[in-house]
Structure 1
Amino acid sequence: MTAPAGAGRRTGSATGQLAGTRPLLRLALRRDRIMMPIWVIVLGASFSSVGKSFASLYDTAARRAELATSMNANSSLRALYGPVFNDSVGGLVSWRMVGFGGALAAVMSLIVVIRHTREEEETGRQEMLSSAMVGRRAPLTAALLAAMIANAALALVITAGMAGSGGGGAGAVALALAIAGIGMLFACTAAIAAQFTESARLAKGLTAAVIGAAFVLKAAGDSATDDGSSVLTWLSPIGWAENVRAYADERWWVLLVIAAAVAIQAALAYTLAGRRDVGMSFLATRPGPAQGRISTAFGLALRLQRGSLIGWTLSFAVVGVVFGGLTGGAADLVGDNAKTQEIFERMGGQSGLTDAFLAAMVSMLGMVAALYIVATVLRLHGEETAGRAEPVLAGGVSRIGWAAGHLAIAFGGAALIMAVGGLGLAVGYGHELPAVLGASLAQLPAIWLLGAVAVLLYGALPKAAVASWGVAGICLALGWIGPAIDLPQPVMDVSPFTHLPKLPGGTGMEWGPVLALTATAVVLVGAGLAALRRRDVLT
C-alpha cells in the first residue's frame, strides 16, 4: 500500500524522514519491557555463571592448561566451541561462550527488529501510524535503536558479570563488545530481510538461516585450524567475534571490522526502506493457485508450518550427528577432573561417563525442542492477531478444529525432530540406536508440557501468550546452567526436564514421572482449548 497523500511533503528532508522516531522507540521499549530484560539478564548472566564454573572446576593453572591443550587437539570440539586462545578463566569463558553467545545475541536482535518493522507492516499497524507525522525511516530507526539498547545492556551485564567472576579487565570489555557487535550486525541483517519479504515469518527465517550459515562456516574453519586463521572462519561474522581474542592479546581492530559491517548493512537497509511503499516488499509473494487445494485445517496448518518443520528436522539431524561424534571423546573432554564428571552425572545421571554424556546431550536436544513447540503453538496467536484466522473461522471450520491442526504440527513435530535427533546421535556415536532413540523420545512429556503451557496461555490469556517464551527460557537456563553451578534441588525441580529419567543407562525407564507429565500436558491443552472456544477472537 502507498503512503498517505502528503507524506512525501512532510517527510522529504532528512529530519522529516526520521520524524516520530522518539515516540516509536518508547513504544517499542514498552512492548518489549518483559522480553528484552529476560533475554539480556539470562544471556548475560550465563557468562558469569560459566566463569564461576570454570574457576571451580579448573582451580589451578595446570588443569586449565591441560584443558586448553586437549580442546585444541580435538577438531570436533573446535568445530563446536572454537579454539582456546588463553587458558585463564576469562579465556576459557570466551572460548566456551563467544560462538553461542554471539548467535543468541543475534537471535535476540532479529526478534526485536522484525517485530517492530515487518511485523508492524504485516498487521497494518504501520500504515495507521504512517498516516500521522511519522517519517518514512522512523520505524526502521526506532527498531535498530531498540536493538542497540538491548545489545548495549547485554554488554554491560557481561562486563559486570565477568568482573564479578574474576575475569574482568580489558578482556571482559572486548568479549562484551564482540557479543554486542554481533548482535547489532545481525539486527541490520534482519532490517535488510524485512525490506525483501512481505512476511515477518519469512524475514525471521531468512535471518535465522544467515545466522546458521555463519555458525556453520565458523565451525568448518575452526575444525580445520586451531588458531582461528581459516578463511572460512573469517567469512563468518561469528568468527570475527572469536578472532577478537578476548583475554588473549585482544585484537581491537576486529571490532572495527564488525562496526564497518554494521554501518554498511544499516546504510543498505535505509536505502531499501526509502524505495518501497509501506506494506510492500522487493520480493512479492507468489499468487496461489486459481483453485484451492487445501481442504482441511490440518492441511492449512501443514502448509503454513512445513518450512519451519523441515528446517528444525534438518538442524536436529546435523546437531545429533555432531553431538554423537563427540560422545566417543567424552572421556578426553572430562579427563580425570572429578568435578566435571560430577556435572555430567548431574545432567545425565549416575550411569557411567559415556551414558551420562549421551543423556546430557539428549536432554539438551529436548530443551531446544521446547523452543520449537512454543514457536509452533504461538503461530495460532500470530494468525489471529494478523487477521488471517477470522476468515477461516467464518467458514465451516470450528475453533477447535482450526487450533487442532496447528497443535498436531506442534506436538507431532516435536516427536519427529526428537526422533531425528536421536537417530543422529546414534549415527554419530556408531551404535546403541534403540537406547539413544528411546532416550530421545523419553524427553517428549516435558516438551509437550511446555507446549501445553503455551496452549493454555494462548487460549485463556492471549495477550500474555508471549510469556510462554519466558517459561521455556527459564527451563532452558536451568538445564544449561543449573548443573554447572549446582543449584538447589527445589529450584531445579521447576523445570519438567528435571523429573524425567536419565536415559540411556541409569536405573531404566521410570514411568511415574513420564505419565504424570503427559497427563498434566493433556489437562492443560484441554483447558486452553476450552478457553479458546469461549473467548472472542482478536481483531
Structure 2
Amino acid sequence: MTNALVGTALLTRLALRRDRVVAAVSIAALVLLCFASAAATSGLYPDEGARVHAAEAINGSPAIVALYGPILDVRSEGELAMTKMTVLYAVFLAALFVVLVRRHTRVEEESGRTELVGGGAVGRSAPLAAATVEAVLLATVLGLLTAIANTAAGLDVAGSLAFGAVWAGTGLVAAGVAAVAAQVSASARTCGAFAAATIAVFFMLRAVGDTGPGWVSWCSPLGWNTQARAYADPRWWVLALYPVLTAGLVGVAALLRSRRDLGSGLLAARPGPARGSPRLADAMTLALQVHGTAIALWTLAVAVLGVVFGMIAPGVGDLLDSGVAKDLIDKLGGLLVAAVLSMNAVVISYFAVSVVARASSDEASGRTELVLATSTSRSRWLAATILVALVGAGWLMLVTGVGLEIGYVATSGPDIGDLVTAALAWVPAVWVVAGLALLGFSLRPGWTVVGWGLPLAFLVFTLVVELLELPSWLGDLSPYSHVPQVPAESWDWGAEAGLLAVAAALLGVAWWRFTERDIG
C-alpha cells in the first residue's frame, strides 16, 4: 500500500501550483460574498425585532425555504445573515471542488498524462491521494478564511467557526463525490455529469426535507448545513458527519480504482460504430455528436428544476396576510422568480464554459489537429463550437422558462407575467460570459480554466456591490447586473442590446485571434 502512494506529496504540490489561480480567485470570491452578506445584515435589520420579523417571513414561505433553507433560530443575526450562504451558495462551493478533483483524476487519465506519470516513481493510488489531500488543504483554508471574514463582519466567533467548518465540510463531501464519479465514469464529461447529478439530488432532498418531512433533510449533506445551527446553539457533533462521509466516499473511490484498468471506468464507455457516418465530416454535426448527451442531460435537469421552482413560487403569498393587496403579492412572486432565474443563468453559464473547455482539451490532446487535417477549416470548426455554446445556453434558458411556466400554472399561481420571456432576458448575459471564455481560449488554450471562475466572480460582483453599497461602476463589471429583473421589472431593450453588443465584440475578437494563432 505504501508503494501505491509514492509520489503523493509531489503530485499534491503540482496540483496546488496548477490550481493557484482558479482556486485562489474562487475562494476569495466565496469569502468576500460571506463577508458582504454578514456586514450588510446589521444595516438592513438594525434591531432584533426587525430581524425576527424578517426571519419569520422567510420561514413562512415554503418557496423561499425550499430555495434558501429555513432559519432555525429567528433571533439569531448570524442565521439571518447566512441564509443564502448556508445552502444555495454552498452549491457553488461544491462545484469548485468537483472541478478540481475531476481535473486531477479523470481528466488526467483521459489525456494520458496519468499513464506517463505512472511510468516513473509514482504509485498507482498517488493521483487520487494527491487530489484528496489538495481538497482537504483548500477546504481547510476556505473554512478558516470564512470564519475570519464573518467574525470581522461582526458575527459571533464561535458561530463563525462552526459556519466555516460547515463550508469546509461541504467542500470535502463534494470532493469525495467527484472522486467516486471519476472511478465510475470513463470520461471527464460523464464524471462531471454524475457529480452534478449527485449534488442536485442532495439539494432536492434538502428542499423536500425543509418544506415537508424533516427527517429527509438529514439524508443530504446540504441539509446538515442547516441542521448544524452554526449561529444558534451549534450542534458540533453534526460537523463530524462531513469527514466521516468524505472518508467513506474516498475509501469507495480507492477500492474502485484498484478494480479497474487505468484510463477506463467502472461503467465502460460505449464503443462507437466501426465506420463513422459521412455526416460527421461536417464540423457542426461532429460538435452536436460530441455535446449531444450533455445537452440532453442539461435539458432534463433544468426542465425539472424549472417545474419544481415554478410550483413552489406561488407559496411566496404565505409571507403576507390575506388582506394584503394582490399586486404586492404578485410583485413578491415576480421577485422570487427573478431570483431563481438569476441562479439558473449562472449555472447555465457553466454549460457554455464547459463547451469551450472541451474545445481546449481537444486541442491539447491533438484531436483538433486531426479534424483540421481534413477539409474542415478553422473557421468552420470554431463556428461549430460557438454555435453549440451560444445556442445551447439559449435553449437551456428557454427550457427553464417553459418549466417555470408549467409549474407556476399547475399550482394556479397569480398572474405575474410571461415567465418564458423572463428567462430569455438572461440569455445575452450568459452569452457575454461565453464570449469571455472563448476569448481566453483564443488567446491561449490553457487560459480556458479561468472561464470556470467567471460566473461565480460576476455573481459576487453583483451581490457584493449591492450588499455593501459600493460604487455602482463595480457592479456594472458583471453582465448579470445589467439584466432587467423580469417579471418583477419591465423589459429593458437598451440593456439587452448593450449585452448583445458586448457579446458580439468578444466573439469577434476571439474569432480573429483564433484564426491567427498556432494550433496546440
Moved more, 361-370 or 32-41: 361-370
Structure 1 residue 412 displacement after superposition: 0.7
Aligned mates of 2:129, 2:459 — CA distance in 1? 32
Superposition RMSD in Å: 2.5
The answer to whether 1:201 aligns with 2:189 is yes
2:289 to 296, 303, 310: 303
Equivalent residues in 2 for 1:35-434, closer than 5 Å = 35-87=22-74, 88-225=76-213, 229-230=214-215, 232-293=216-277, 294-295=279-280, 296-325=282-311, 327-328=313-314, 330=316, 333=319, 355-430=334-409
For 1:511, the equivalent position in structure 2 comes to 493
Is the contact made by 1:123 and 1:387 (CA closer than 8 Å) also made in structure 2? no
Aligned mates of 1:178, 1:236 — CA distance in 2? 13
Report the AA paired with residue 143 of structure 1: A
Structure 1 residue 91 displacement after superposition: 1.9
Q: Secondary structure at the match of 2:261?
A: coil
Aligned mates of 2:21, 2:108 — CA distance in 1? 19
Check 1:185–1:514 CA distance in 2 against 1; reply closer, same or farther (3 A cut).
closer
Moved more, 109-118 or 480-489: 480-489
Structure 1 residue 151 displacement after superposition: 0.6
Aligned mates of 1:50, 1:333 — CA distance in 2? 22
Structure 1 residue 355 displacement after superposition: 4.5
Moved more, 311-320 or 134-143: 311-320
Q: Secondary structure at the match of 1:491?
A: helix
Report the AA paired with residue 198 of structure 1: A
For 2:324, the equivalent position in structure 1 comes to none
Q: Secondary structure at the match of 1:287?
A: coil
Is the contact made by 1:105 and 1:180 (CA closer than 8 Å) also made in structure 2? no
Is the contact made by 2:32 and 2:464 (CA closer than 8 Å) also made in structure 1? no
Is the contact made by 2:97 and 2:174 (CA closer than 8 Å) also made in structure 1? yes
Report the AA paired with residue 311 of structure 1: L
For 2:444, the equivalent position in structure 1 comes to 461
Structure 1 residue 100 displacement after superposition: 2.2
Structure 1 residue 220 displacement after superposition: 0.9
Check 1:131–1:78 CA distance in 2 against 1; reply closer, same or farther (3 A cut).
same
Aligned mates of 1:135, 1:39 — CA distance in 2? 30
Moved more, 468-477 or 153-162: 468-477
Is the contact made by 1:94 and 1:246 (CA closer than 8 Å) also made in structure 2? no
Deviations 1:170-192 (A, max 9, x none): 22222211221121122122112
1:528 to 504, 510, 519: 510
Is the contact made by 1:426 and 1:433 (CA closer than 8 Å) also made in structure 2? no
Check 1:387–1:57 CA distance in 2 against 1; reply closer, same or farther (3 A cut).
same
Aligned mates of 2:340, 2:151 — CA distance in 1? 30
Check 1:384–1:70 CA distance in 2 against 1; reply closer, same or farther (3 A cut).
same
In the superposition, the TM-score normalised over structure 1's length comes to 0.87
Return 5+ residue gaps in structure 2 as ranges: 322-327
Aligned mates of 1:171, 1:208 — CA distance in 2? 29
Report the AA paired with residue 493 of structure 2: W
Is the contact made by 2:350 and 2:452 (CA closer than 8 Å) also made in structure 1? yes
Structure 1 residue 107 displacement after superposition: 1.4
Aligned mates of 1:173, 1:458 — CA distance in 2? 39
Aligned mates of 1:53, 1:426 — CA distance in 2? 33
Aligned mates of 2:78, 2:416 — CA distance in 1? 39
Structure 1 residue 319 displacement after superposition: 3.5
In the superposition, the TM-score normalised over structure 2's length comes to 0.90
For 2:325, the equivalent position in structure 1 comes to none
Moved more, 520-529 or 316-325: 316-325
Q: Secondary structure at the match of 2:366?
A: coil
Deviations 1:135-158 (A, max 9, x none): 111111111111111111110111
Deviations 1:505-535 (A, max 9, x none): 65x5443443333233223223222322222
- Count of aligned residue pairs for this structure pair: 506
Moved more, 375-384 or 124-133: 375-384
Return 5+ residue gaps in structure 1 as ranges: 1-13, 336-344, 346-350
Structure 1 residue 323 displacement after superposition: 4.3
For 1:494, the equivalent position in structure 2 comes to 477
Aligned mates of 2:263, 2:94 — CA distance in 1? 25
Deviations 1:361-420 (A, max 9, x none): 444433333222222222211222233222222222222212222221211112111222
Structure 1 residue 217 displacement after superposition: 0.8
Is the contact made by 1:81 and 1:99 (CA closer than 8 Å) also made in structure 2? yes
Is the contact made by 1:197 and 1:284 (CA closer than 8 Å) also made in structure 2? yes
Report the AA paired with residue 171 of structure 1: G
Report the AA paired with residue 466 of structure 2: P
Structure 1 residue 485 displacement after superposition: 2.7
Structure 1 residue 282 displacement after superposition: 2.3
Aligned mates of 2:461, 2:317 — CA distance in 1? 24
Check 1:433–1:261 CA distance in 2 against 1; reply closer, same or farther (3 A cut).
same
Structure 1 residue 239 displacement after superposition: 1.5
